[in-house]
Structure 1
Amino acid sequence: MIQKTKDKIEAFIFDMDGVIIDSEEIWKRAEKEVFSSIGVKLSEELCSVTQSMTTTEVTNFWYSKYPWKHKTLDEVENGVVERVAHFIKNEGQAISGIEKFIKVLNSRGYKIGLATNSPSVLIPVVLEKLALTEYFDATSSAEHELEGKPHPFVYLTTAEKLNVKPENCVAIEDSFSGLLAAKKAGMKTIAIFDSPNSKVENKIADYYISCYNQFDFSKLNLEE
């Protein structure tokens, strides 16, 4: 439970993939399509390692394992991002309950931000696909930071854009690296996990939900 303190919560900052849009399989398909075409042998074990990386880090990772020729790293990375954007536009699905939840936050006067490891070009694609653009006061991508999550930079940047102190922000994440980034930034954290095992493995969040319909403002002690 997030305990009430003298610091009033003023903003909610969302991760994007797995928190706003159900995109895990989309990323897997895009990466398999692009990397396999240049001779990379993807495995479930190694794909799990890259899951929380930025696209640049993922591309560098696979190049170190299976160096390819005839295409630059940028060309390969851009190929993956283009395929992800294509799949999102045509097949993207919102995480259940996110639209209603964001509208409730908006109606209560909270500022709303987005902090993602994904490339910035995908942010408007996702928000437009889900018809959520108008609700976000600030968005940030880790591609413009020195390092992505689990480093806190993208969260600190988003808080600055919102003109809210980090301690007055709640971050919503679905991964350990994301939760760690928000914690390092000094924010309260909510983990959204659909698996009980995930809660056990990721104990650092202040509060846990398996879906947005479970969100209870009174339990979070966010009311004055």
Structure 2
Amino acid sequence: MALKAVLFDMDGVIVDTEPLHRKAYFKTFNELEIIVSENLYTSFTGSSTKKVCETLINEFDLSHSHEDIAHIKRTYFKDFFYNDEEFDLIPGVKQLIEHYHENDMKLILASSATMTTINMVFEKFGLEKYFSGKISGADLKESKPHPEVFLLAAKMANEPVENCMVIEDSTNGILAAHRAQIFCSAYRSQHSKNQDYTLANIVVSDYAELELDKITKYF
């Protein structure tokens, strides 16, 4: 047993798109002339755009289709994605990715985001050359906490699960890694709220703690 592959989640691990989604949604609410409370907005966490749009239609008796609303939201999101000056990689993650790459680790992205968003992030920040595979959970039948996405990622890396490590930041992602029986490093960022790290094998708040000389003792 030796570490050969690292399976990265994306949102909250490589980038934090949550503030962009928030800004895009609130612009959309303004355009639809509806007032969405913080409580209602918080209840959308982890839901697909389609589900959010359907909830808005029912809640506010809107005449728009969910496709119309999703289109408005996506347009705003794209604008913020390319033009918001605060949007950047999570501190230290690029160095960690380069470090693994230089040490011949196989890197696979296993994210719940759509492939469109994954490709936008990879293109904007020049990550393509480091990763040997990408999986979008949006294309799978089951989503996290189901282990499918990580089992597929291990298969894509062509490694048994005991030679893999997952980097996650959410309760559902950590549970998915645990169910897949893959060693899980949880990243606790200053944005992480109410996440449960109990099932993670280690918890870090600085990516330097995941450099190979610090973690090989676990493998």
**SS in structure 2 opposite 1:157?**
helix
1:26 is displaced (CA, Å) by: 0.7
Whole-angstrom CA distance in 2 between matches of 1:63 and 1:162: 42
**Equivalent position of 2:117 in the other structure:** 122
Distance 1:11 1:79, change over 3 A: farther
User: 1:157 aligns to what?
Assistant: 152
1:171 aligned partner: 166
Q: CA deviation at 1:101?
A: 0.5
TM-score by length of 2: 0.85
Q: Does 1:75 align with 2:68?
A: yes
**In structure 1, what is the equivalent of residue 13 of structure 2?**
19
- Aligned-partner SS, 1:50: coil
In structure 2, the partner of 1:29 is 23
Number of the residue aligned with 1:90: 83
Shift of 1:40: 5.0
Residue segments in structure 1 that go unaligned for 5+ positions in a row: 1-6
CA contact (8 A) 1:8 1:222 kept: no
Deviations 1:121-161 (A, max 9, x none): 01111111112111111111111111322222222232232
CA RMSD of superposed structures (Å): 2.6
**Further displaced range: 99-108 or 165-174:** 165-174
For structure 1, which segment, 214-223 or 99-108, has the greater mean C-alpha deviation from structure 2 after superposition?
A: 214-223
- Residue 45 of structure 1 is matched in structure 2 by 39
Supply the distance in 2 between the matched residues of 1:180 and 1:188 (Cα, whole angstroms): 11
Q: 1:171 to 1:204 in 2, by over 3 A?
A: same
Distance 1:148 1:134, change over 3 A: same
Matched, 1:107 2:131: no
Q: Report the counterpart of residue 52 of structure 2 in structure 1.
A: 58
Larger CA deviation: 199-208 vs 10-19:
199-208
Q: Post-superposition shift, 1:60?
A: 3.9
Q: Residue 147 of structure 1 corresponds to which residue in structure 2? A: 142
CA distance, structure 1, for counterparts of residue 144 and residue 74 of structure 2? 18
Moved more, 43-52 or 10-19: 43-52
- Report SS of the residue matched to 1:170: strand
The structural deviation recorded for 1:178 is 1.4
1:10 aligns with 2:4: yes
Matched-pair contact (CA < 8 Å) for 1:167–1:187: yes
Partner of 1:3: none
Cα distance, 1:214–1:62 mapped onto 2, change above 3 Å: farther
CA displacement 1:69-105 (0-9 Å, x = unmatched): 23x2233234333432332222330100111110000
Contact (CA 8 Å) 1:179, 1:204: kept in 2 or not?
Answer: yes
Q: Distance in 1 between matches of 2:105 and 2:141?
A: 28
Q: Which amino acid aligns with 1:98?
A: V
